[in-house]
Structure 1
Amino acid sequence: MPCLPLHPRTRLASLIAAACLSQTLHAAQAPVGASEQTRSSNAAVLTQLPFSDRADYEAVTRGLIAPFDGQVSDAAGKPVWNLEGYKFLAAQDRPDSVNPSLWRLAQLNAHAGLFEVAPRLYQVRGLDLANMTLIEGDDGLIIIDPLTTAETARAALQLYYQNRPRKPVVAVIYSHSHTDHFGGVRGVIDEADVKAGKVKVFAPSGFMEHVMSENVYAGNAMSRRAQYQFGLYLPRGAQGQVDTGIGKALATGGSITLIEPSDLISEPYETRTVAGIELEFQLTPGTEAPAEMNLYLPQFKALGIAENASQTMHNILTPRGAQVRDAKAWSQYLDASLTRYGDKTEVLFGQHNWPTWGAEQVRTLIADQRDMYAFLNDRTLHLLNQGLTPMEIAQNMQTLPGELAKKWYTRGYYGSLSHNARAVYQRYMGFYDGNPANLNPLPPVESAQHYVEAMGGGEAVLAKVRAAMDKGEYRWAVQLGNQLLFAQPDNARARSVQAEAMEQLGYQSENATWRNMYLTGAMELRNGVPSQAGSSVSVDMVRALTADMFFDYMAVRVDVDKAVGHDLNLNWSFTEPDQAFNLTLRNGVLTHRAGLNPKADASLSMNKATLEQISLKQLDFPTAMQKGLIKVEGNGKKIAELLSTLDSFSPQFNIVTP
């Protein structure tokens, strides 16, 4: 029973523990430089945006107490976080291979260290993808979002303690259910103190359920695609990864941890007092995460906006894959924040990027981002009701309306207009565009073979790809090249040309994640898919999975072709905790329900801890039976039959080739 893949940010942190980030992994074929067309395209950006506006350069350094420009290592001395690879961003001259707007953001996000946001309110930024926020209470610290790994969280807290009074941590707040906002919790508190009531852990209602459900069922595919989104294997540099849009990168190779919340926020607004600090929580479910909440601090006139507003447009559907978010609800929650807190907030801080100071500036940013998400929803619906298809809508929505198009914090560095418009379409209409020609198209390889044949064969298609590139028509070149590669995946010249075309699109992209995806595709076309080894599972998350979730994921792993003809019925009991389930394999489909069936083929019982050990590969099923950790009654062969139908998923499947 192999390891369960978890949330992409969790899994990816462990992927790199084995792969060591691959700054040197793929040196066989180097990228090419920016073409004349790319240089011209990027130069034009300088005339289109207000680069003379330097307010963000002042904001990103405001309140700096102690800079950070080094690295954080794990117990074995391996780097978990390393900013040294981003020193190239200090260059005054922008390289031709980076969009000027993205270069600007990448420079801003490179500022790292301990910052004062307001008296008694601090942030550690640049020690992970997210920020750690610290509130100084009367007799202890309140920490908002303890980063991705215990190592980076511990280092962030230590940086704070080196510069501020050493008060104990008395509360942790998880703003939402993504791993970079809770995974480092054991680096700042001890679970025993939580159980003893000495430390509180606050989270929005539904937090644990969404942490678990988001991290299992499609985890393998999400993890693989997230390697592209975050540029995990790309070298840091002007021809590689420069940013993610919401921070530099993911902490990699450290310990992903989780402590279950002690206090859930379940009402739309709830007020608590901790260490003399009044905390007003605003629930915002279904926005950037299924379980998310904002936090208002009346004593500081400060609004913590979680990840609901930031210095960039966010994703309605993240490229790594997820459930489509509700842009309309997102907009409405921001409006509620503006109504309730706008007239009494002097600083807005988020869990990515840098804060915004000044009452008018805060109100304007919230209102602008409210309008942006409302536009994404309403304009997409307007166009789809006119009959436009997803790509036609995306092509139509090239810019935001009015003043929104001129604001840096609405630029598409993380989310994009193109991707978000298609996501809204998907939320309302699904994947089908209504054209019967697209109702049942041929699969990619077979379709590509027909297209290449119709265009006169591989050499003819390759010539058309080169001609498109000579004109700077890289989008068309990549579309053509994709057909050729899926028809002839071993065509070395096609791989090389496709890599060059993707590279130019990456160099031109203002969006950090699009750049990462294009450049990762180019890298894999040249050098193959990076290898991955080692466990990708967080022990805390496996322990937090319910038995229902284990069985749901087991059903995902059943290979129907192997399972058909092996109908069976099993009772599966846990002695600690006391739970019992009945599993049915029928028609190649595995289902389960609570309770026992007296007519089951076999029954087995174990502690849930034993199942956790098996899932973590600390123990195998036969050994557990030999040790008496698993007890079986009835036809034990039926249990073996079930286990023989389970597939293990390859974590490194092909993406840019069949």
Structure 2
Amino acid sequence: MDPSTSQLSENISPSFEDTADFIDADRGFVGSLNPCVIKNARGDTVWDNDEFNFLHQQPCPETVNPKLWRQAQLLSKQGLYRISSSIYQVRGFDISHITFVEGKTGIIIIDPLISCECAAAARELYYKHQGVRPVKAIIYTHSHIDHFGGASGVLPPVTNDNDTAPVPIIAPEYFMEEATSENIFAGPIMRQRARHMYGSQLPKSPKGQIGVGLGMATSHGTTSLVPPTINITQTGQTLTIDGVRMTFQMVPNTEAPAELNIYFPDERALLVAECATHALHNIATLRGALVRDAKAWSRYLDETLLLYCEDAKSNVQFGSHAWPTWGADKIKKFLAQQRDLYAFIHDQTVRQMNQGWNGTEIAERMVLPPSLSREWHTQGFYGSVSHNVKAIYQRYMTWFDGSAENLWKWPPKEEGARYVACMGGAEEVLKKSQVFISQGDLRFAATLLGHVVAAGDEPGNDAIAHLQCKNLLANVFEKLGFGAENATWRNFYLSQSVDLMNGKRAQGKNSSGMAAFAPNLSVEQWFGALSITIDGQEAGKEEKPFCIDIHVRDISEDWRLILSNGALTYRSQPNGERSSNRTEPDLALTLNKIGLCRLLNSKSSSSDILDLKGDVQALNKLLSFASITSKVKNQLQSYI
């Protein structure tokens, strides 16, 4: 049973006798890293691709969907590969791939993985086979961390006084805004859900994690964010670096808000970063993110097809995930099918939406045409038709499905308690769930058992029956995971099965709050992050508003923070100007940027505060409402 595809889908699947992907995935192989284990300076393992060797040592077991097993076999291949006469790629060192383009005297590096250690190891593998060449530039294709996080691992040492990148760093316009914004406001819950999506706590085994459908896993090394020095702003923009000619296509608001593709005319090589890969991608990712624009996605792919397959004749197309496609006709077919895949799902969702169906109903009704269903690269290994349809519905119609009974539902705990009571208690739910399981209806069994688990085992509930339901739900999740074609569904089911067996079910409640305020973010981004850590209920008890002026001396920025009615407002004050009718602050504080960073991260010392005038209690209150530790507040007492 495959829970990640519609029950109404026609029985049309790609052929396992088609081995073209294996031929393409092996083409151009130069050499591998053995063992493929990458460690940090402390000796901790940050990447171990050898954990997936079992995929190549046994046939597909009953605990894995056969199509997903095949995908994992392909994605787990690792080593250095030659794509064209001067383009090489290291695969299998992270969830994404790193690309090396040879110029006259050095190399251009594209998408340096998540971790610095993994990027450095990939560069060393390239050097081993191609010789040491200086890095002449780095290109980020888009604003997701698996395409920029390892940059510091491959950059030459900084030799200037301004601590700026020693070589050009090229990225699409608005890269920095998008690379940071997604993780500022919703970072804690995204990271928690990402652990389930990527199965990072699962063992690598036929009963555990076997990849994520787009790659095998995410590395756990040191990350970096080196700001771009050159922005690509329009399609058709060209650059020549170290003799390498490049033409760029802007594809914003597709797979990432800031994204680009690259055409290398001298190689007739086309890099489509992540808008076309060997799996259906996500319109909404299960870890959480803004819903993507499937219609724009499809239209940009059509532009790619026109510019680089019809006007220019690409001979090889590759990306930062999966494996390349060679041959003009094969590339045109691949890109056209990818274009039509996103267009079909979008247009048919909207068509049925306008007929009155809601997102869940459309997801059950959606059937891809046979011409798409039989292709391997359109399968739902990473995104799924089911959750992509619901994402498109959400983009247009919000969370509300239009049925009034769903407008004001009880939260899961209260709703679960009422369902259990209506059904005669947890024992009766347990019996009914077992009946549905015996009938093969794992989906509804999970729903029934989920109500019992959500209701909890508080006094008055049958504790033994509750425990039995929780264990049975864990078993149901395991069965659903074993049957899933979609790797992220599998990882979610199996991760939450483990959570249940360990006596917990993580739902993001009582999260620890914001992650550390990263030094490379702007002051405005820090204050944006600070505003969503404020406990509005507690802060709202303050009847009198107060404001704090902060002068960041070394970067000449002035800000006013206003706490009123439980909400924090932050205003830039250009050049420190104050109008004559502006109210005086309760507190005026002067720091350098690093001092402000340490203050927000509970690591400040008295020397960080360069000047302070007014009531320090205003800052104490603000920090307490943001749950920033009392250590900082105690250090400020000397200023009272």
After TM superposition, the score normalised by the length of structure 1 is 0.88
Partner of 1:608: 593
- What count of residue pairs does the alignment treat as equivalent? 601
Contact 1:376/1:417 (8 A) holds in 2: yes
- Say yes or no: does 1:436 pair with 2:412: no
Contact 2:548/2:586 (8 A) holds in 1: yes
More off after superposition, 187-196 vs 578-587: 187-196
- 2:354 corresponds, among 385, 401, 408, to 385
The 2-side partners of 1:480 and 1:536 are apart by 32
- 1:152 corresponds, among 118, 124, 127, to 118
The 2-side partners of 1:72 and 1:434 are apart by 51
- Say yes or no: does 1:564 pair with 2:540: yes
Partner of 1:580: 558
Partner of 1:203: 171
Contact 1:255/1:538 (8 A) holds in 2: no
- 1:328 corresponds, among 270, 289, 295, to 295
Contact 1:191/1:259 (8 A) holds in 2: no
- Say yes or no: does 1:349 pair with 2:318: yes
Partner of 2:31: 66
Decide whether aligned partners of structure 1 residues 81 and 569 sit closer, same or farther in structure 2, where only a CA change above 3 A counts. Answer: same
1:192 Cα shift?
Answer: 2.2
1:529 Cα shift?
Answer: 5.2
The 1-side partners of 2:239 and 2:413 are apart by 58
Decide whether aligned partners of structure 1 residues 547 and 215 sit closer, same or farther in structure 2, where only a CA change above 3 A counts. Answer: same
Decide whether aligned partners of structure 1 residues 591 and 516 sit closer, same or farther in structure 2, where only a CA change above 3 A counts. Answer: same
Structure 1 residues 243-302: Cα deviation after superposition (integer angstroms, max 9, x where no partner): 1011110001x1101111110001222100011110111110000000000000001111
- Say yes or no: does 1:274 pair with 2:241: yes
Partner of 1:503: 478
1:191 Cα shift?
Answer: 6.1
Contact 1:140/1:168 (8 A) holds in 2: yes
Decide whether aligned partners of structure 1 residues 400 and 647 sit closer, same or farther in structure 2, where only a CA change above 3 A counts. Answer: farther
Residue 609 of structure 1 aligns with an amino acid whose one-letter code is I
Partner of 1:175: 141
Decide whether aligned partners of structure 1 residues 479 and 338 sit closer, same or farther in structure 2, where only a CA change above 3 A counts. Answer: same
Residue 67 of structure 1 aligns with an amino acid whose one-letter code is S
1:614 Cα shift?
Answer: 3.6
The 2-side partners of 1:77 and 1:530 are apart by 33
Residue 202 of structure 2 aligns with an amino acid whose one-letter code is L
Structure with larger RCO (C-alpha < 8 A, sep 6+): 1
1:594 Cα shift?
Answer: 1.5
Partner of 2:212: 244
Contact 2:188/2:514 (8 A) holds in 1: no
Decide whether aligned partners of structure 1 residues 106 and 45 sit closer, same or farther in structure 2, where only a CA change above 3 A counts. Answer: farther
- 2:496 corresponds, among 521, 534, 537, to 521
Residue 143 of structure 1 aligns with an amino acid whose one-letter code is I
1:538 Cα shift?
Answer: 9.6
Runs of 4+ in structure 1 off by over 3 angstroms are 44-49, 193-198, 528-532, 535-539, 614-617
- 1:420 corresponds, among 388, 393, 404, to 388
Contact 1:278/1:299 (8 A) holds in 2: yes
Contact 1:582/1:594 (8 A) holds in 2: yes
Contact 2:13/2:373 (8 A) holds in 1: no
The 2-side partners of 1:192 and 1:419 are apart by 45
The 2-side partners of 1:614 and 1:236 are apart by 41
3-state DSSP of counterpart to 1:147: coil
- 2:250 corresponds, among 267, 278, 283, to 283
Residue 389 of structure 1 aligns with an amino acid whose one-letter code is N
Structure 1 residues 416-463: Cα deviation after superposition (integer angstroms, max 9, x where no partner): 000000000011110001111111111111111100000111100011
The 2-side partners of 1:500 and 1:198 are apart by 54
1:46 Cα shift?
Answer: 11
Residue 402 of structure 2 aligns with an amino acid whose one-letter code is G
3-state DSSP of counterpart to 1:472: coil
Contact 1:311/1:410 (8 A) holds in 2: yes
1:648 Cα shift?
Answer: 7.0
1:615 Cα shift?
Answer: 4.2
Residue 66 of structure 1 aligns with an amino acid whose one-letter code is G
- Say yes or no: does 1:258 pair with 2:258: no
Structure 1 residues 214-259: Cα deviation after superposition (integer angstroms, max 9, x where no partner): 121000011111111100100000000001011110001x110111
1:84 Cα shift?
Answer: 2.1
- 2:423 corresponds, among 455, 463, 467, to 455
Contact 2:278/2:322 (8 A) holds in 1: yes
1:565 Cα shift?
Answer: 2.9
Partner of 1:131: 97
Decide whether aligned partners of structure 1 residues 193 and 137 sit closer, same or farther in structure 2, where only a CA change above 3 A counts. Answer: farther
Partner of 2:469: 494
Contact 1:45/1:99 (8 A) holds in 2: no
- 1:300 corresponds, among 242, 245, 267, to 267
Taking only aligned residues, the RMSD between alpha carbons, in angstroms, comes to 2.4
Decide whether aligned partners of structure 1 residues 369 and 577 sit closer, same or farther in structure 2, where only a CA change above 3 A counts. Answer: same
- 1:478 corresponds, among 439, 446, 468, to 446
Decide whether aligned partners of structure 1 residues 522 and 62 sit closer, same or farther in structure 2, where only a CA change above 3 A counts. Answer: same
1:197 Cα shift?
Answer: 7.5
Decide whether aligned partners of structure 1 residues 428 and 128 sit closer, same or farther in structure 2, where only a CA change above 3 A counts. Answer: same
More off after superposition, 234-243 vs 630-639: 630-639
3-state DSSP of counterpart to 2:368: coil
3-state DSSP of counterpart to 1:215: helix
Partner of 1:551: 527
Partner of 1:372: 341
1:402 Cα shift?
Answer: 3.3
- 1:599 corresponds, among 568, 584, 600, to 584
The 2-side partners of 1:99 and 1:91 are apart by 17
Residue 62 of structure 1 aligns with an amino acid whose one-letter code is R
Partner of 1:411: 379
The 1-side partners of 2:345 and 2:13 are apart by 22
Contact 1:45/1:100 (8 A) holds in 2: no
The 2-side partners of 1:59 and 1:190 are apart by 33
Decide whether aligned partners of structure 1 residues 536 and 239 sit closer, same or farther in structure 2, where only a CA change above 3 A counts. Answer: farther
After TM superposition, the score normalised by the length of structure 2 is 0.90
Partner of 1:446: 414
Partner of 2:330: 361
3-state DSSP of counterpart to 1:542: coil
Residue 278 of structure 1 aligns with an amino acid whose one-letter code is R
1:74 Cα shift?
Answer: 0.2
The 2-side partners of 1:573 and 1:196 are apart by 24
The 1-side partners of 2:592 and 2:585 are apart by 20
- Say yes or no: does 1:56 pair with 2:24: no
- 1:633 corresponds, among 613, 620, 623, to 613
Structure 1 residues 509-544: Cα deviation after superposition (integer angstroms, max 9, x where no partner): 000000000000100000145999xx99999x8222
The 1-side partners of 2:156 and 2:513 are apart by 23
1:628 Cα shift?
Answer: 5.1
Partner of 1:310: 277
Contact 2:601/2:628 (8 A) holds in 1: no
Structure 1 regions of 5+ residues with no counterpart? Answer: 1-34, 650-658
1:408 Cα shift?
Answer: 0.3
1:627 Cα shift?
Answer: 2.6
The 1-side partners of 2:261 and 2:28 are apart by 23
Decide whether aligned partners of structure 1 residues 247 and 173 sit closer, same or farther in structure 2, where only a CA change above 3 A counts. Answer: same
Structure 1 residues 388-413: Cα deviation after superposition (integer angstroms, max 9, x where no partner): 0111000011x311311110000000
1:196 Cα shift?
Answer: 7.1
The 2-side partners of 1:63 and 1:537 are apart by 44
Contact 1:557/1:648 (8 A) holds in 2: no
Structure 2 regions of 5+ residues with no counterpart? Answer: 458-462, 630-640
Work out the percentage of aligned pairs sharing the same amino acid.
39
